[in-house]
Every structure is written in C-alpha cells, then in structure tokens.
Structure 1
Amino acid sequence: MFNPERPLAPPEKAFDEPWQAQALALADTLVQAGHFTPTQWAAALGAALTTFERDGAPDTAQTYYNAVITALEQLTEAHTDISETERRQRRADWEAAYRRTPHGQPVTL
C-alpha cells in the first residue's frame, strides 16, 4: 500500500496472509468465468460487511477477509451447482485435513 509520508519507500504488504490474496483472486476468477457479475460480487461483499459491522465485529483486515469468504460462500451456493450441504462438508474436510497436517507441510484431502 502506498504511504504518502514516504513516497519513495517500497509499498507495504497488501495482505497479512496468502489466503487473503487467494480469496480475492478466486472471486475475480469466478467473475471472469461468468459465475456471477461484478455487481453481484460487490453487493454480496457489502452485505457481508454490513452484517459483520451490525454484529459488532471490529473494523480490521481480518473482519474484511472473513466477509470476503462469507460472500464467496453465498455466491458459490447461489450461482453454481454446489449446495450449502456440499460446501459445509468440503469445508469440514479441509479443516480436518489442516488440523492433522504437520506445520510446513502441504495440506491435502
């Protein structure tokens, strides 16, 4: 991110974690593939952010990227042949795989 107080300094990192960049790249890929429109993406993300704010979530990058995931999940269920049940099961499978994978090793199902 550009720092106006230090215009010649290298940009600060844009993401705290790689998954944050991957989530936004996934959203862009789904838009480019025609699964949903940029307007639908913006509306879903805005709605998720509003819900998090209403529920008292702090205004942080973590909250923003949690809203990104929420919007992606909702749009995926609405605009692909993946059901909520299938999505929940796949997420549970990945979480179980993540927990059993030794640190530094790739996660596989």
Structure 2
Amino acid sequence: MSRPDGTAADLPVGLDAPVFAEPWQAEAFAMTVALHDKGLFSWGEWAQALSAEVKKPGAATDGHDYYEHWLAALERLLASKGLAARSDVDAMARAWERAAHATPHGRPILLENDPEFQSAT
C-alpha cells in the first residue's frame, strides 16, 4: 500500500496477521463459499445460521471460537436442508480422526488410513 506521494504506508496493526489461525478454518470458509456458489443456500440463510450460532450462550467474548461457530453453522445448515445428516458428519469426523492417528508422522492423512475404512468397491 502506498501514499499519494509514492512512499510506503504502514498497515494498521493486525492487518499483516493471518486471517485464519488454523488451516481447517480456511477450509471451512472455502467450503462455505463453494457450497453457496453451487446454490445450496443463500447468503441470507448463511448469515442467519452463523448469527444463531454466535449468539448461543457460552460464546467467547474475544471471538477466539468464531470458526467453531462457523463450522457448527455450516453443519446445521446442511443438515436442515437434508444435504448432510449430523450423524453422517460426525461419523466422517471420527473416521478422519482415526485416519490421523493411524498415519505416520510426515505422511499425508488419507481417509483410507482409517483402520475401519471400508472401500466402496
């Protein structure tokens, strides 16, 4: 960013900080945008779902749990539209966790690494 005289302007404090604290947060954000782009929900529906989650009792006042609410809103919205049942989402999360524990350090985590993985072949 530069000033009218061509010299560099200092960015406001915090603008050089990463937007997402963890990779999963960026992925949840990207999934939400992609699902909206596919027409699965409107931004109004999304805003209502996220607002409902953020307003729930127990939300952190400093916002550190914002993307946890984001993910819960996405899961709830998809379930309400019959696109992904909560039980299916929970089962998939457990499968990925098992896969992560079964994957040697430094190797990619693949769902196939889940010891309970059943191929659809």
Deviation at 1:73, TM superposition (A): 0.7
TM-score, normalised with respect to structure 1: 0.79
Q: Distance in 1 between matches of 2:38 and 2:98?
A: 30
Matched residue SS, 2:18: coil
Contact kept? 2:25, 2:67, Cα under 8 Å: yes
1:40 aligned partner, one-letter code: E
Report which of the two has the higher share of helix. 1
Aligned residue number for residue 65 of structure 1: 67
Matched residue SS, 1:15: coil
Aligned residue number for residue 41 of structure 2: 36
Change in CA separation of 1:7 and 1:57 when aligned onto 2, cut-off 3 Å: closer
Aligned residue number for residue 10 of structure 2: 6
1:46 aligned partner, one-letter code: S
TM-score, normalised with respect to structure 2: 0.72
Q: Structure 2: any 5+ residue segments left out of the alignment?
A: 1-8, 112-121
1:50 aligns with 2:50: no
1:102 aligns with 2:107: no
Structure of larger gyration radius: 2
Matched residue SS, 2:19: coil
**Cα shift readout 1:77-97 (whole Å, capped 9, x = no counterpart):** 122432222122111111211
Q: Distance in 1 between matches of 2:59 and 2:11?
A: 35
Determine what percentage of the aligned residue pairs are the same residue.
32
How many residue pairs match? The answer is 102
Q: Structure 1: any 5+ residue segments left out of the alignment?
A: none
Contact kept? 2:75, 2:84, Cα under 8 Å: no
Q: Tell me which of 81, 84, 99 is aligned to 1:82.
A: 84
Structure with more relative contact order (C-alpha pairs < 8 Å, separation 6 or more)? 1
Matched residue SS, 2:55: helix
Matched residue SS, 2:41: coil
Compute the RMSD of aligned alpha carbons: 2.3
